[in-house]
Amino acid sequence: MKENMKKEKEEIILKELKKTRREEMNSSGEKYYSISVNQVKEIASKFQLPSRKIEILSLKSNIIPERYHRNLGVINPFEQLKLLQSKVAVIGAGGLGGTVLELLARMGIGELVVADKDIIGDSNLNRQILSQETNLGQSKSEVAVKRVKEINSSIKITGYAVFIDSDNVKKIVKGADAVVDALDNLPSRFVLQKACRELKIPLVHGAIAGFSGQLTTIFPEDKGLELIYGSARDLPEHGSEATLGAPTVTPAIIASLEAQEVIKILLKKEKLFRNKLLYIDIENGAIEILKLVVSE
């Protein structure tokens, strides 16, 4: 009975969408149907449903929410639908994590999780996209949630004002289709990797130091961080970023690459940086892709 009522409601919404849709023309001269942000909100309010549900029904009917129109070309409407139905956890909301969240929200990832106990300070202003003079002293996770909702109100986002540890990490990342390592210390990276392995979730790792940065994607069965940093035992708290600093441009580049790896994972695209380490030195214009292999 409930299933029949659900189908009937969806059919009514689809009629509303078809009545509301607008005929547009893309840059190639091809016609398509679209729906605006405000129209999505109006229909969602009318039927007391989340906006994301309306966007999903729109895409299933080949009506493109205009906010995602410029995504199309590199992805198709079905793939945009897949992104809206996906969940990603971003651990860390600083230079890497803040930008990753911004990009994933604009791309239309349907559900986001962010964890960071830190507060915004003066030293964050040079590179952290969430940091402003007006929110100094505020919780990074709370600012992240607010920012994502301002960008894309269709997205569900949950914030945790905690530093991850072995006791809380699984609860935070459980159910995610991908996890982003945007942390700034080595022990926590290994805690996160262990949880992702046990929950069988792909992990995208990024790190920066000065004008250099690195990226790799780790699936549960991969060796992963051990091949970069060695054993998890006796790790230093921080890597070379502690002495080389974190200038403005480096985290933006690595965060963009992390976001792209997430998209490739969700859409099952090939050519991930899996079992490879992408190393970039933007000061000297050097890019290397190193194979991560277990030594005999």
pLDDT in tens, 130-161: 999 999 999 999 999 999 999 999 999 999 99
The reply to whether 115 and 214 lie within a common domain is yes
Is residue 166, in this structure, part of any structural domain at all? yes
Find, among 66, 64, 91, the residue nearest to 79 by Cα. Answer: 64
Which of 77, 97, 131 is the last residue before a domain boundary? 77
The reply to whether 72 and 111 lie within a common domain is no
Lowest mean pLDDT among 24-28, 48-52, 130-134, 282-286: 24-28
One-letter-per-residue 3-state SS of the chain:
CHHHHHHHHHHHHHHHHHHHCEEEECCCCCEEEEECHHHHHHHHHHHCCCHHHHHHHHHHCCEEEHHHHHHECCECHHHHHHHHCCEEEEECCCHHHHHHHHHHHHHCCCEEEEECCCECCHHHCCCCCCCCHHHCCCEHHHHHHHHHHHHCCCCEEEEECCCCCCCCHHHHHCCCCEEEECCCCHHHHHHHHHHHHHHCCCEEEEEEECCEEEEEEECCCCCCCHHHHCCCCCCCCCCCHHHHCCCCHHHHHHHHHHHHHHHHHHCCCCCCCECEEEEEECCCCEEEEEECCCCC
The reply to whether 12 and 49 lie within a common domain is yes
Is residue 265, in this structure, part of any structural domain at all? yes
Tell me what the mean pLDDT of segment 239-257 comes to.
86
Let me know: does 46 contact 13? Beta carbons within 8 Å. no
* Residue of 206 and 270 predicted with greater confidence: 206
Based on the structure, what is the number of domains in the chain? 2
The reply to whether 90 and 213 lie within a common domain is yes
Instruction: Tell me: pLDDT of 21 over 80.
Output: yes
The reply to whether 157 and 241 lie within a common domain is yes
Instruction: Tell me: pLDDT of 127 over 80.
Output: yes
Let me know: does 57 contact 14? Beta carbons within 8 Å. yes
The reply to whether 105 and 146 lie within a common domain is yes
The reply to whether 242 and 105 lie within a common domain is yes
Tell me what the mean pLDDT of segment 258-277 comes to.
97
Query: What CATH number did the domain enclosing 287 receive?
Result: 3.40.50.720
Average per-residue pLDDT for the chain = 94
Give pLDDT, residue 62: 95
Instruction: Tell me: pLDDT of 50 over 80.
Output: yes
Give pLDDT, residue 263: 98
* Residue of 261 and 293 predicted with greater confidence: 261
The reply to whether 73 and 120 lie within a common domain is no
Q: What is the residue type of 210?
A: G
Residue range(s) defining the domain that contains residue 250: 86-291
Lowest mean pLDDT among 87-91, 109-113, 231-235: 231-235
Share of the chain above pLDDT 90, in %: 87
Is residue 227, in this structure, part of any structural domain at all? yes
Is residue 147, in this structure, part of any structural domain at all? yes
Unique residue bearing structure tokens 């290994």: 190
Instruction: Tell me: pLDDT of 1 over 60.
Output: no
Share of the chain above pLDDT 70, in %: 94
The reply to whether 156 and 41 lie within a common domain is no
Is residue 190, in this structure, part of any structural domain at all? yes
Give pLDDT, residue 181: 98
* Residue of 197 and 245 predicted with greater confidence: 197
Which of 40, 55, 77 is the last residue before a domain boundary? 77
Which of 48, 77, 106 is the last residue before a domain boundary? 77
Find, among 136, 89, 118, 129, the residue nearest to 258 by Cα. Answer: 89
Question: At residue 32, what are phi and psi to the nearest 5 degrees?
Answer: -150, 165
Instruction: Tell me: pLDDT of 27 over 90.
Output: no
Let me know: does 87 contact 176? Beta carbons within 8 Å. yes
Is residue 296, in this structure, part of any structural domain at all? no
Is residue 25, in this structure, part of any structural domain at all? yes
The reply to whether 90 and 69 lie within a common domain is no
pTM of the predicted protein model = 0.94
Give pLDDT, residue 236: 67
Unique residue bearing structure tokens 């890497």: 96
Token output for 170:
């699984």
Is residue 255, in this structure, part of any structural domain at all? yes
The reply to whether 207 and 276 lie within a common domain is yes
Query: Which pLDDT band, with edges at 50, 70 and 90, does 28 fall under?
Result: confident
The reply to whether 185 and 242 lie within a common domain is yes
